[in-house]
Structure 1
Amino acid sequence: MAASSFAALVARSLTQPFALVDVGCSGGIDPRWRVFEPRLKVLGIDASEAECRRLSQLERNPDAHYVPGFAGLPEGHPHRHKTSIGSISDLILPRLSYMRTREIRQAWLAGASHEERMRQNEWQTTELASTTQTIVVPELLEQRGWKAVDYLKIDIDRDDLEVLMSFEGRFEQFGVVAVQVEVMFIGSDSELQHTFHNTDRFMRRQGFELFDLEVRRYSARALPSRYIWPTPAETEFGRPFMGEAYYALDPVAAKGGDRTPDITQFAKLAAIFSLWNVPDAAAELVLARRHSFEPLFAVDRALDALAAQAQPDRLRPLSYADYLAEFEKDEPSFYRREGPIGLGERLSAAWKAYRRPRR
């Protein structure tokens, strides 16, 4: 696919690892990041001890390791255990259709395999790690000798904001260029709850900008909607309940405080943008740092790959130069046709939505 072709071009140019930390790694790391192998370095953390054991047995990358445990803030931190939206979710969750499905399936799930429970996102019913000692992720990284982290992903179905807060003032220390975090669209006006508005303010204070946002809707049991996936969770209609936010440094706008990533980090960031399906941000970065990138990879070829990613429906994508020239002519190809949306276009949009990586 076009997204991986640009990332693969970058990956081949790297002489140092692409370091990924996945907090909430159940199901395994997103296959997108495998493009960086054999220079992919992974630390996965998950509350399910059984899942970490399973992933370790399946893993073929000698530089990927999985650690069971509950992540959060250190003992004594003033915000420890204060980010929960439990009081709000306790009022909303019972009203959602997916909770009714869980009730219907309760007896069946009691005898389901570990793999099936994880597939149904019933990780709480698996063999869990000890809750007596919280994993403070930056401290664990230091203990394991990690000097750098390129990508931080957090999805723990609980206090994701606590894990983010544990990195406060330390993103620069580890050289983090991009963060993917689950966010909640329910909650109160509290400045501590794990809600999108608090996550967004926190990330902007750390020098990161929002580059993508996925919104997942959950219908009420009063009128259930069709599920998006083969498991009960996100629905076709319903209130905005949770989602995924994608943050990164914005070096073109010089946002990120005094941080000055080296050219290899810029290259990794461009690859991340492409894998996030925001190839425009990748192209902007490549153009802004063209002369610095030239010793790493063929810039014109890289731009052609990004242009191809922007043209998924074309059997023979235009080159970057021709694609820009077509835009400058205000060609009809940049617009949807007038009138009702045809079946073919609907199917194409549905297929793109289905293929979009979700975690």
Structure 2
Amino acid sequence: MDSAFTALVADALGTTPFRLLDVGCSGGLDPRWRAFGQRLQAIGIDASRAECARLAKAETLPGVEYVPVFVAGVAGRPVDLVRGQASPLIMAIRERLSFMRTREIRAARLARAEIEEQLRHNAWEMTELADSTKPVAVAELLASRGWTEFDYLKIDIDGSDFEVLQTLDGRLKHAGVLGVQLEVNFVGSDAPSEHAFHNTDRFMRKQGYELFRLDVRNYSSRALPARYVWPTPAETLTGRPFQGEAYYGRDIDAAGFDVPKLLKLAAIHEAWGVPDLAAELLLARRADVADSIDIDKALDLLAAAAQPDRTRKLDYRSYMRSFEADSPSFYRREGDYTLGERLAAAWAAFRFPRR
């Protein structure tokens, strides 16, 4: 993972921190943010008391705190762990998927497993948990830490994500939040309270944020399981779109951003794998940020990020000249297919021969 651009931004920030709120921090903070070094300040929240203790023991940065607590839409309202935090429909669909059958097969082993393996299987409920009768509201927790302003929000709590997100209605822009990363569901009802992508997207656009990246994860049915994408049972190579990750951010025309905010927003875009948006931001606000960061060096690093498959990467100016010349390098070569694509085409031709 190349973090050179984020490191360049971090140096330009001076003593200004990058503040991250991770609601559902099981597995640890995304390592991309650690490129901010000592400037990283983070609050990680998770319902697994054991996981928060493990993460705190391994943490090396003084500005990172892990809080073992359930979060909810209403502070103090007990969480029903038996019913689950997701809607009955989503829970019913979840039970039909192959990864749940694998969890059933492995249940006895998981009950005796170390916490790392339990969490790899998303079996967080098997770990030592926080008090489910005393959940907190995110806004109240932030106030108790004196966080009136922060840069990045992530929510991934396997159920009440949308309920928790709605407690921040009207607060995100006020708090200066630049990027929001949310787990979303592609199943569910049309109810306005459902934790489904269409409701999340409508809410975020109401808050003034644009969708800049959307990852879709497919899950197969237990009736005909497909191969898992990862070494642990989760998403599969084929299957219905069940869950995903949605990345929302402020756009370049957002007014009122000071230089540190502009630079941090560029770093967020690059970390999301959309370096084009970071370059667009730097070019649009060049007059504002030029005294704080080497624009040419920054653009060269972003151009390198746009060329992940090239051993010898072009600098920004050469890269743009190549595009303006309509270089063949911006196109896939005719007949340049992977083995998987060739096999899929052959299978399709066999199943559906031309008449």
Is the 1:84–1:194 contact (alpha carbons within 8 Å) kept by the matching residues of 2? Answer: no
| 3-state SS of paired residue (1:171) | coil
- Look up the match of 1:272: 268
Q: Distance in 1 between matches of 2:111 and 2:92?
A: 25
Distance of aligned partners of 1:152 and 1:237 in 2 relative to their CA distance in 1, 3 Å threshold: same
Question: In the aligned structure 2, how far is the partner of 1:123 from the partner of 1:54?
Answer: 13
Q: Kindly tell me: are residues 103 and 187 of structure 1, through their superposed partners in 2, closer, same or farther at Cα, counting changes over 3 Å?
A: same
AA partner of residue 145 (structure 1): G
Would you say the 8 A contact 1:85–1:187 is kept in 2? no
Instruction: Report the secondary structure of 1:157's partner residue.
Output: coil
Aligned to 2:239: 238
**How far is the alpha carbon of 1:89 from its aligned partner?**
2.1
CA deviations 1:284-330 (Å, max 9, x no partner) are 00000111111111001100110111111222211111111111111
- What CA distance in whole angstroms lies between the structure 2 residues aligned with 1:85 and 1:116? 23
Q: How far 1:109 moved relative to its partner?
A: 1.2
Q: Which runs of 5+ in 2 are unaligned?
A: 78-83, 343-355
8 Å contact 1:47–1:128 — kept in the other structure?
Answer: yes
Q: Give 2:350's aligned residue.
A: none
Q: Does 1:321 align with 2:327?
A: no
Bigger relative contact order (CA 8 A; separation at least 6): 1
Distance 1:345 1:59 in 2: 43
Residues 203 and 99 of structure 1: CA distance in aligned 2, closer, same or farther (over 3 Å): same
Q: Give the number of equivalent residue pairs.
A: 336
Q: How has the CA–CA distance of structure 1 residues 57 and 76 changed in structure 2, closer, same or farther, with 3 Å as cutoff?
A: closer
Which residue of 1 is the match for residue 334 of structure 2?
338
What is the TM-score normalised by the length of structure 1?
Answer: 0.90
Secondary structure of the residue that 1:38 maps to in structure 2? Answer: helix
- Checking the alignment, whether the CA contact within 8 Å between 2:163 and 2:193 is kept in structure 1 is no
CA distance in 2, matches of 1:222, 1:23: 33
Alignment of 1:91-240 (within 5 A): 91-240=92-241
Contact 1:84 1:193 in 2 (8 A): no
Match of 2:283 among 275, 284, 287: 287
**Matched-pair contact (CA < 8 Å) for 2:75–2:136:** no
- Are 2:43 and 1:20 equivalent residues in the alignment? no
Q: Which residue of 2 aligns with 1:31?
A: 31
How far apart, in 2, do the equivalents of 1:260 and 1:293 lie?
14
In 2, Cα distance between the equivalents of 1:14 and 1:119? 35
**Shift of the alpha carbon at 1:75?**
4.9
Q: Is the 8 A contact 2:269 2:278 kept in 1?
A: yes
Greater Cα offset, 269-278 or 109-118:
109-118
Larger radius of gyration: 2
CA contact under 8 A between 2:76 and 2:133: conserved in structure 1?
A: no
Deviations 1:165-216 (A, max 9, x none): 1111111232101100100000011111100000000000000000000100
Which aligned segments of 4 or more residues in structure 1 are displaced greater than 4 angstroms? Answer: 343-346
1:39-62: CA deviation from partner (whole Å, max 9, x where unpaired)? 100100000011111111111111
Equivalent AA in structure 1 for residue 260 of structure 2: T
TM-score (norm 2): 0.91
Aligned-partner Cα distance in 1 for 2:289–2:170? 29
Is the 2:75–2:137 Cα contact (8 Å) retained in structure 1?
no
> Which residue is 2:346 aligned to?
none
What does residue 72 of structure 1 align with? Answer: 72
Paired-residue identity, %: 57
- Higher alpha-carbon deviation: 191-200 or 291-300: 291-300
